[in-house]
Structure 1
């Protein structure tokens, strides 16, 4: 039953991918997202004026518009979706954990915008142009470069996994022919482990991966959050602007979560058709290809930003 559900979900994801990249759907989504962002920004200006004049319900209306802006913003091209989607497709990470990573990375982008405006405005005395310039000229390329390096690292890790699985089959075949003993027997005799268990290694990798992924995405602050924070700081609505920035982050996370779910479905649906050593080799190949895709797309974003 689970296999059938995965296959059906895989077909749905592949159909969506076909519409986006082969039938021009991505261009339609980009136009829709740009129009939505523009409309949300115009409405946010009115909501800020209402908030400043003390209109009841103005804050709730502003936060709703900020969430909508984040949703439209995330629907367009973005480095966060590339990294989260590629990582989910290429790594054996549970859907719940990847969803939390997607949420944390979006909120971290909002937090980095708050930090940039706080330091830039209060400590360095920067103008709006200087803060936006720092985000676009320095932080955006640094974020794309970091994502590209993570992609290369994932690619190398996948290639190593694929190589070990292929080499392991040859070694086991040779041992079976020679009558060699199992290392599991050694562990039982000497009473201690010669290395971390697979569960311990996975825990270390997941924590390290989480820190790297969130850091690389958060390195580039959300432009919409920056714009809102600068305006609210000038209007004397500082904490309202901070709440709005995190509302934008939640809106962004709603789309990134969908990408995370789709990537896990794509991975599990593909692997559901395999078994045994074939699954291990396929997982290494998928991880290497996903890492290479992340690196290539990040390089394209970096070249555009330079």
Structure 2
């Protein structure tokens, strides 16, 4: 039963990826874009109601911000690609991946807040300049950082595969990972897998956070002009939580699919040998995918 559940996750993930790559999810993406536009208009109305002191305006604004965050995350975005690929390729527990998802979404909100506050108070930038900065320079910086996440994962996947090859050679020659001399010959694949650390988390969070949401910029600039910037900050954090709902779901699906891929190989004796190579292969594949998507995003600017 457990294997069937795990395999279902792999099938669901592969189906969604195939639909996405084949353009089958374009209808959902258009819907998400339309919803963002509608919610953005409603936010402007809620802000006017808030400034005029209408009861319930704060709750209404926060609900709209949360809804915008969900709609924004459902549409096309780099956050889902990073979290999904990293969760599928790396041997990272679901709790840690979910924590990274929430941290990334809130950090993205924090970037928008810092950009608007610093851009207006320190640099005296206008709305169009701030938006251009967010959609060009920060997108480029974010994409380069995301590409580095992919290259780092790919390199670590290769390291795991090399470690597995060494382990297999020593096992063949000495019937074990050690030759009897009292020490191991190089790190095992498991030890290589454990090298993930704070560096992983920082790269993943920074890669997502460097690309602030335009809806958050809209809200923050508007609340600044209206003299209620504090409300804009709270609303932007609510957007971040809305985004986190979707990215945590993607994290869960990624881990579910990863378990399915292991269940697929471990069940068959003929594939038992291949199962040892799966962690490194998954990590290499995830890294190459992230790097390739990043390069595709950067190509128009090159």
- TM-score in terms of structure 2 length: 0.90
295, 299, 305: which one aligns with 2:295: 299
Over aligned residue pairs, what C-alpha RMSD do you find? 2.4
Distance change in 2, residues 1:21/1:136 (3 Å): closer
Superposed CA deviations along residues 238-265 of structure 1, whole A, max 9, x for unmatched, are 1100011111111111111111111111
- Match for residue 152 of structure 1? 151
Tell me how far apart the structure 2 counterparts of residues 251 and 220 of structure 1 sit (CA, whole Å).
Answer: 16
Paired residues of 1:233 and 1:241 also in contact (CA < 8 A): yes
- Name the structure 1 match of 2:9: 9
Secondary structure, aligned partner of 1:55:
coil
Q: 2:128 matched to which residue of 1? A: 129
157 and 180 in structure 1: CA distance in 2 versus 1, 3 angstrom threshold? closer
Match of 2:269 in 1: none
Contact 1:159 / 1:288 at 8 angstroms: preserved in 2?
yes
Deviation at 1:286, TM superposition (A): 1.1
Taking the TM superposition and a 5 Å limit, the aligned residue runs for 1:18-167 are: 18-22=18-22, 24-167=23-166
Mapped to 1, the partners of 2:110 and 2:179 lie a distance apart of 56
1:280 corresponds to: 276
1:24-45 CA-partner distances (Å, limit 9, x unpaired):
4311111111111111011111
| 1:229 partnered with 2:229 | no
Distance in 2 between residues matched to 1:159 and 1:175, nearest whole Å: 24
Residue 159 (structure 1) shift = 1.4
Q: For 1:42 and 1:301, locate their aligned partners in 2 and report how far apart those are by CA, in whole Å.
A: 29
Q: 1:211 aligns with which of 199, 202, 209?
A: 202
SS of the residue 1:25 aligns to:
coil
User: What displacement does 1:182 show?
Assistant: 6.0
C-alpha change, 1:272 and 1:195, in structure 2 (3 Å) is: closer
Q: How many equivalent residue pairs?
A: 295
How many angstroms apart in 1 are the aligned matches of 2:179 and 2:95? 41
- Secondary structure class of the residue paired with 1:262: helix
What are the ranges of 5 or more consecutive residues in structure 2 without an aligned counterpart? 267-271
Q: 1:164 to 1:67 in 2, by over 3 A?
A: same
Q: Which runs of 5+ in 1 are unaligned?
A: 188-193
CA offsets 1:12-33 (integer angstroms, 9 cap, x no match): 33333444444x4311111111
- Deviations 1:226-245, CA, capped at 9 Å, x for gaps: 11100000001111000111
CA distance in 2, matches of 1:111, 1:83: 19
